[in-house]
Homo-oligomer: A and B are copies of this chain.
Amino acid sequence: MNAAYNDLSSTFTRLYRFRHLNSIVGWDHSTMMPKNGNDARAAALAELGVLMHNMITEPALKSKLDAADQENLKPLERANLREMKRAWQSANLLPAKLVEDMSLASSKCEHAWREQRPANDWKGLAENLKDVVRLAREQAKLLAAEKGTTRYDALLDMYEPGMTTAKIQAIFADVKTWLPDLIAKARALQANDALVKPVGPFAAEKQKALGLAVMKHLQFDFDGGRLDVSAHPFCGGVPEDVRITTRYREDDFAQSLMGIIHETGHARYEQNLPRELVDQPVGLARSMGIHESQSLSFEMQLARSKPFLKLIAPLVREHLGDQPAFSADNLGKLYSRVAPGYIRVDADEACYPAHVILRFEIESALVNGEIEVDDIPALWNEKMKAYLGIDTKGNFKDGPMQDVHWPLGLLGYFPSYTLGAMYAAQYFATIRRLHPDLDQKIEAGNLAPIFDWLKDNIWSKASELSTDELVARATGEALNPKHFRVHLETRYLA
């Protein structure tokens, strides 16, 4: 009965187990590994990459997928088969050699980046990055030919199935018409708003203890996950053992706290994926945009709201000491301050989309071959000036070297952040309709309306539905960027 489907299911369970090794060793690479371990680690990860690629490109899979299509599958199994096909299709368009080369090149580039970035060594990074981009273009070319898309769309589709450059351009073009004005107005409104600056230093240990306390509030499952330190914060590991990371600056607790909350959003999605489907493609998180919509639901919609900051202000004082800056009111000002800056991950909610639009425009041109790696710094500077009024000339480390995505070969990922912010705004518009007293509940520490809604509508659905269906069923409509604009106007201009 359903022999082909069951056979496929076993293969994907094996792949899931190998991906487990890849995730944990990858986490170790970014959090624990001493520098001289890199060459052996890169070789080991590349070998595993080839193995997994060989499994998913095994010739017999094609006929099994076709045979399973004819079998009598339940709806969830049919959805699983659809996701199996997606995984199969992406992988089978890429030769093993290219996968291995990319693994080696990105591992090398990322590892060197860790020391090149603080040294502001753009030239050093560019040398490795050219290899990564060359291989990403090869990947994109092969995928695009098959999918009948542009090269960049072919990469986009890996992170955000169904999304296209055209759709994003339309959304971003709209954002560009109102965002600069919104930023200017918000800054004008905040100009005379006295903000008390927190007085450091804040020992990393104390920041960690605060972070752990807030994670507990946000119901992170510590029996199934950890918090550690890495150069670039991320959420890794596996659903059964989620590893989030942050970085601490002793002169500024504010960023690490929000960073931890952001990653906790990713983590709760992973921790609450349906456990009985965890080893199958349909049990995976839906897309990177939906993933970011979780982190941004936590960080932007929930944690930067006044009622939440009122809720956790006592925790901040408990761990970092009592000072005027830690009143709920002042924390509210601190976390809604609109101030254009160099760093995307430190950006406020209003400026953030500008960072993403800039990266989207550069990386899509890069993948499509319209520009080269050497063109990046000038373009970066030009767009930072245009969108945020900031000059980054010569400051590579806070410019195009700031993110780990490109060194890792993750081209096509950035738009997910702003799509995620838009989904998150749409979720909260729905939750607020269901709970008109949401702010009072949050302030009272009752976060169940949010977590229950996310669990029922997003987390438990995994990849059962397409992104559009998922969002439509949850909120009553497909992606509607209006909610994001309304949210920003309510928070910053009201």
Binding site for B on A (CB under 8 A): 14, 17-18, 20-21, 24-25, 28, 32-37, 39-41, 43-48, 51, 221-226, 237-241, 278
Contact A18 to B34, CB < 8 A, known contacts A25-B25, A41-B241: no
Out of B46, B47, B224, name the residue touching A34 (CB < 8 Å). B224
Measured CA separation A18–B21 after assembly (Å): 10
| Contact residues in B for A32 (Cβ distance below 8 Å) | 32, 226
Residue of B nearest to A50 (CB): B14
Give complex CA distance A39, B17 in Å. 11
For the complex, give the distance between the alpha carbons of A213 and B240 in Å. 37
Residues of B within 8 A of A224 (CB): 34, 36-37
- How far is A41 from B17 in the complex, measured between Cα atoms in Å? 8
The answer to whether B21 and A43 have CB atoms under 8 Å apart is no
The reply to whether A240 and B18 form a contact with Cβ atoms under 8 Å apart is no
Residue of A40, A48, A225, A239 contacting most chain B CB atoms (<10 Å): A40
Known interface pairs A34-B222, A34-B223. Does A240 touch B40 (Cβ–Cβ under 8 Å)?
Answer: yes
Q: Closest chain B residue to A37 by CB distance?
A: B241
**Given A35-B223, A39-B240, A225-B34: A44 and B28 interface contact (C-beta under 8 Å):** no
In the assembled complex, how far is the CB of residue A221 from the closest CB belonging to chain B, in whole angstroms?
7
Residues of chain B within 8 A (CB-CB) of A24 are: 24-25, 28, 41, 44
Q: Which residue of B lies closest to A224 (CB)?
A: B36
> B residues within 8 A CB of A34?
222-226, 241
| Chain B positions within 8 Å of A239 at CB level | 40
5 residue pairs, one from A and one from B, having the closest CB atoms: A37-B241, A20-B44, A17-B47, A36-B224, A40-B240
Residue of B whose beta carbon sits closest to that of A239:
B40
Q: How far is the CB of A323 from chain B (nearest CB, A)?
A: 26
CB contacts (< 8 Å) of A48 on chain B: these are: 17-18, 21
CA distance A39 to B20 in the complex (A): 12
